Each structure stands twice: as C-alpha cells, then as structure tokens.
Chain A
C-alpha cells in the first residue's frame, strides 16, 4: 500500500472525529444562540496568532508527556488512570526538594526532575504490586490513589511544606525554586531565528525535554527488545508467553515507566512558569492525557499532534469569552473527540484490514495466474 494512502488512512480517523465533534458542538452552540461559524472562525484567527501558537505549544507540553505516560500503558493493555494523582504528588515532592537546596543549575534541575520521576514511580507502585500479586484491576486502584494523592498533597502543603510568600494569601504554596532550578525560556532562540514576539509570550524550554521524551519513547518501543516484547504482550498475550515474555515482570516495568513519565507532567509548569507548587496547580492533565493518547493512537508523533490540537483548542477558546460564547464548548468538543476517535479508529481499522487482505490476494493471484494456496482455517 503506497505511502500516500497509508498517511490518508492514518489521518482518517482523527479527522473524522474532529469533524464529528465540530458538528456536535455546533448543536450546543446553537442552543446558546451562538453562531457556530462565527465561533470557529474567531477561534481560528485568534488561535493562529503568533503568541497563541506559542501558548499552544506551552499548553501542549504537559499534555504530551501525560499522553506518553498513558500510551505506554495502553500499548500493553494497561490503563494507568492514575497519571492525575501521580503528577501532582510528584510535583509537590519535586517542588519541595527544589526549593530546599541551591545547587549549580546542571545539578539542580536534574535533581528536581529525578525526584519527580521517582515520586511518580513510587505512587504507581501500589497499584502495580496489587495488580501483579492480587490481580486487582489497575483502573480502580489508580483512581483511588488519585484521591489519596489529593489528600496527601493537601496535608503536606498545609503542615510541612507551606512557604507562602505572605501570610494573608489563601493559596498554600511550597517555597520558591531559585534561579538555578528553573528551566530557561526559548525566547532567545526564537529571536535569534528572527521571529518577532509579542510581549508576554514565552516559549518554555521544557518543550525540548518533551520532544526528547517523545524520541526516547519511539526508540524504546520500536527499536528495543523490551519494546518489542511490550507490544507483543499487548497484541497477543499467549504468543508473547511462549515467546519468552514474563507477563508479571512486563506489567511491573510498564507501569513503573508510566508512573515515572507521569511524574514529569507537571514539571514544565513548575520549572518554567510558577516555580512553586500551589493549591491551584493545574489539574486535569491526567485525564486529558488519556484523550490525547487515544487521539494519537499511542504513537509519539500522533500524540504530539493530538496535544497540539488540544492546546490549540484550549488557547483559542479564550477568545470566545469576549464574544459572549461560553468557552466551555471546547471541553465538550474534546469529550466528543475522545469517544468518536476511538469509534472512528475501529471503523478505519476494519476497512483497512479488509482492503489489505483483498490487495494481497489480488497481487498473489496475479503473480500466479491462478488460485493461490488453500486458505484453510
């Protein structure tokens, strides 16, 4: 099957999903006496401004890492819904550690990142062990851990980590991470490239880390033996078993990697923007990461596109407020995309399988000039 066709098929499902989502959202917009066309066009023109594009990338970064964390689980048929809780408690831990020391930047930043990864892994450890030893389904256990992490984080903030700048502030916060622990902005690079930046736009440097993680994901999953065994386990557990894969070890390793990645989700916010963990640290990256992973079909490139799409939607929706259109329409769009993209992928898969089988049969018949080998079951 030629390349163009392959690309078209790969994009078919997400495009279908987005179109369907736009259609459904149009209904909701009409309910609000708003014009869908106006809404979408203003979203587009706002969203494609240079500062919006930068904002889109910034928003996409944590979504992307979250998508990677979820995707590695999906590749093995595991559902790590706990990314939400893992990234938050990892952020608290990393923020506290980061604010309590001052080291040269080359040590400080890695220390923070490593702390985040370790805490993320630790937080997924309980569901992972429960799954492997007692067969507890990871969906419920990770959801429970999410709730526990909320409470634990709040308690830590309230009792041990509170370093608010002023006593009168209602928002609890960890200490400020000093300059050495922060991640640089990429604005200098953009300026060096000759791009003009609007005031206030700031391309966070963490996007580089995100990209590196994506590359690492690709390399590990498609170029290493471990990745092969991981994919095989997800596709056909019985075949993987006789091929020598140890299922329990696989589950543990995969979940730990997922948890470690989850730990990094909050780092772009922490090291590039707020420099502290506060009670109004952004939420929902965990769940939206699932959406983005599904959209990108668990492939780092697709997930990147999905994350950028969601980032674009989040950013461009801001303009709707000015037009009196509820910007929450975007959340509906995103929700509809999630459901419909999975349905669409399934439909496309069936179509593609059918086509491929026919194509192969045709080609073989042509080369043999007659019926091929018997297709016994």
Chain B
C-alpha cells in the first residue's frame, strides 16, 4: 500500500547559534520507504539539521512532522519513541562488551533481575535476518571491523523500533568493499519499508544509492533533485555554489627556492589502510599551497606527518636541504615550522594560563621568550603586547587567562604568535575559522605580506573563498591521495567540487 504521507516533513527550520545561523528556513520532504540523501559541505548545516530531527537540539523556528503528525522533540528519547533512530558518525559502542550487550543496553529483555540472553539473541537474530545483515551476537565488539561495527549500530536503533534511520556520514570510515556491503544492507532495509536519511558529501556514492537528493549550502536548502536526472558535476556545483570568488590579480611572489619538499609520504593504520597515500608536493618560498578537501580525507594526518607527531611509513620530507622525516617535533619547530592548529583549544592554547604564556607555546626555546634555559618574562610580555596590538586581539591586557577570550580573539592570538615568530614555513589549518569578517580580512592581509616576504605556507582549509583567494597552487586531497593540482585563478566551481567529492573519478570526460 502506498502511503502518500511523508515520513518526515520539515518546513522552515531555522536555528541560530551565537554569531552564526546554522540553519535558515530549511525544508526537507522525505517520502516513506525511500533513501533520501542530504549533501553539503562541512559547515553547510547538515549536522545541525539532523540533530534537530533527532531531538538533540530544538529549532528556533519551523515545524517537523513525522508520518503526518506534528512533533516537538525535547530529547532523543522523544524521537526514538516516534521511530527515529540515529547512527552517529562516531560509533557509540563499548569495545569490551559483546554485540548482544551493546545492542540491548538500556532496553534489555528481562527475566527477573537477569538479562534474558536467549530472548535477546532471538530478537536480534530475527531483526538481522529480516534486514539481511548477519551478526555474531557473542563476539566482543573490539574484534569487529568497522563495517561490522556499523551494522551493530544500525541494529541498535532497529532494536528500539526505528523505522526512520538517520545515518551521519556512514561511509566516512569504510573502504569500498565495506561501502558495497552497507549499500546492500540499506537496500534490504528499504525493501522492508524502512525510511533512510543518508548524510554524505561523497557524491559518487550518493548517486548510486539515493532515491532523492537534497542539497544544502550555507544553512539553507538549495535544491532537491532526482539522481537519475543529474550528474555528479552538477551536484558538485550545487554543493559548492557556481560562484567562486575571483582571486585578486596580484604579482606572483613565488620564488624558485623550494622550502618544503614532500615525496611519497604514506601513513597506514595497523590494518594496512592508508590514511595518506603517496603524497607528493612542493612549497616554494613566497608560495601558498592550498589543500582543498572535505574534512576527514587525510588532512589531519598529513599535518601530523609534517609536524612530526605521527611517524610516516614511507616517503621523505625535506625542509630546505635537510631530510627532516626523522626529526623530533621540537627540532622541526625550532627549525622554523610554524603551526596554526585547526582545533585551537585542543592543540593551540593553554586555556588556564595567561596570554603571555600562550604566545610562548611552540616557541619557548628561542628569543624573545627564552635565553638559553631561562625564560625571559619581560620579553614574553613585550612580544605578547606587540602581538595583541598588531593582530587586534581584544583583551584588557596580556595577563588574563586564555579562556576569557572569545573564540575569535583566541584564534587571532594564535595566528599572531605564529606569524611574529618569523617562521620559514607555516602550516595553517583553518586559520580563519570562527573569526568575524573584519578579522578574517586582517589575517589574510598578514598572510599575504608574509608570503611577499618569502614565507612558504601550507594552507589547509574548508573555506573555498580563503583557498582561492590566498593560494598560488591548489591541491585537492581525497581519501588520502592528492587527486588534483589546480590553478586557483582559473579553476571552476564544478571542477573543484567534483575533485573534492570524488565525483571526478567516475564522471564523463572533462570539457
């Protein structure tokens, strides 16, 4: 029997956070028993929307209707009751418990005080058979591979009676064969009448599995399309926006001297999966090399390899003339590698320490912060005040603790400290994340000036405007490999988007 009622009907959802509008007037119509994909870049607003649908956040405006009934979720429990289940990108499984235990936890079939293992097993196997993915209920989860763990997560929500599944970037951690397995399972689920909402940025996969695709960009719905009527290129264009900022015409400051030479760098997991694979590129003095790519495609590992916090399995890294692949992080920092981390709180700041102690971080061995073994407090204060002034860090003085600053000012401080330390090479990961537009422009200007003075910069960013505007060379990273080297002055939105999302691999020949 065909249901004309929508499984999920979202209208006009708006959600604001301090300083940013995550969702703006979003509409989403998911039909019963279909696989509906939601695509968009990082920061486009997909996760927020899903959190709202799952009851983890409440919208500021708009309505949600499930199976035709209006809903107001106050917590995930409400959503679960209505039959919505969410499989998170980061699995919530206890490694040391069995599959069965993980699935039934919190909803255990009981026999008095006992856990009714037999009944649990029966119900799980029933579900597993109905939906076609076998599981060994008595295996410890830690023995399971990633694909199997995902199946356990899916069974977890099915066990609680979910008929509408939300999958958040399910293929982010899977290898191709596991992806095929997953899609088989999803089709089986669909056959049994389950509705699936599938969030992803991998266009090739989305095109192969989805019945309907909704594209979200900058917090709002851009379009809803039928996969059979659209190409990957077109999708990418929708995702990324057909308007790309035009880079300012400027003189090239790129010199011939190679500052950083990376050849064939590879990092593998213990199981042999390559996190970065045969990465090769060069950065010359006065050049900004931008790395575009959706988060999670190896950027973080590449940075760790360059900083020395993660050993590499193959390849060489040369800074100037020397192979630094075996150097300690300390030696690399002292040799002049600067670092603007992407997670400022986790890697960039000592939150409970005063600002002047934060400007020393990463540079504590050299003047003006230290003289030999001894710290130079005056020097540190002076440099901090200089940084605060030059980079417009809003703070009463240099002695307040870092946690008192707003996120944007923290970021400005970090950028300032790295730049004033006079690096020979700068790794900048999302350097203007969380900063207001004015500050962003100031940082860009600083980067340009430094580049003109001969700095070599590796820029990793999700902000296409930033990448296009600052880079001299644009590389695209996808699944750990450099898949394209593009000229930012002439690259089109479709091209960039399609490389970033892997759509380029299976699409028609380029024009």
Contact = CB atoms under 8 A, between A and B. Distances in A.
A301 B211 CA distance: 69
Interface in B71-101: none
Interface string B302-344: 0000010100000000000000000011111110000101000
B346 A238 contact: yes
Contacts of A242: 307, 309, 329, 339, 341, 347, 362
B106 interface: no
A360 B434 contact: no
B352 to A, nearest CB: 6
A282 B346 CA distance: 45
Interface string A51-68: 000000000000000000
A243 B349 CA distance: 10
B404 A246 contact: no
Bin chain B's interface residue count: 35 or more
B357 A376 contact: no
Given A228-B375, A243-B362, A373 B18 contact: no
Interface stretch (A79-87, A104-112, A229-237, A268-276): A229-237
A372 B410 CA distance: 13
Contacts of B349: 236, 239
A198 interface: no
B434 A376 contact: yes
Contacts of B401: 353, 356
A236 B403 CA distance: 13
A233 to B, nearest CB: 10
B405 interface: yes
B360 interface: yes
Interface string A339-377: 000000000000001001101100110001000111111
B445 interface: no
Interface in B374-420: 374-375, 377, 394-396, 400-401, 403-409
Nearest to B358: A239
Contact of B346 (A227, A239, A353): A239
B339 A376 contact: no
Contacts of A353: 401, 403
Contact of B352 (A223, A229, A235): A235
Interface in B250-299: none
A239 B348 contact: yes
Contact of A224 (B17, B331, B373): B373
Contacts of A239: 346-350, 361
Interface in B168-194: none
A23 B439 CA distance: 54
Given A222-B375, A244-B328, A244-B333, 4 more contacts: A224-B373, A245-B329, A364-B396, A377-B17
15 contacts: A225-B375, A228-B357, A232-B350, A235-B353, A243-B329, A353-B401, A359-B404, A360-B400, A372-B406, A374-B434, A375-B18, A376-B407, A376-B434, A377-B407, A377-B434
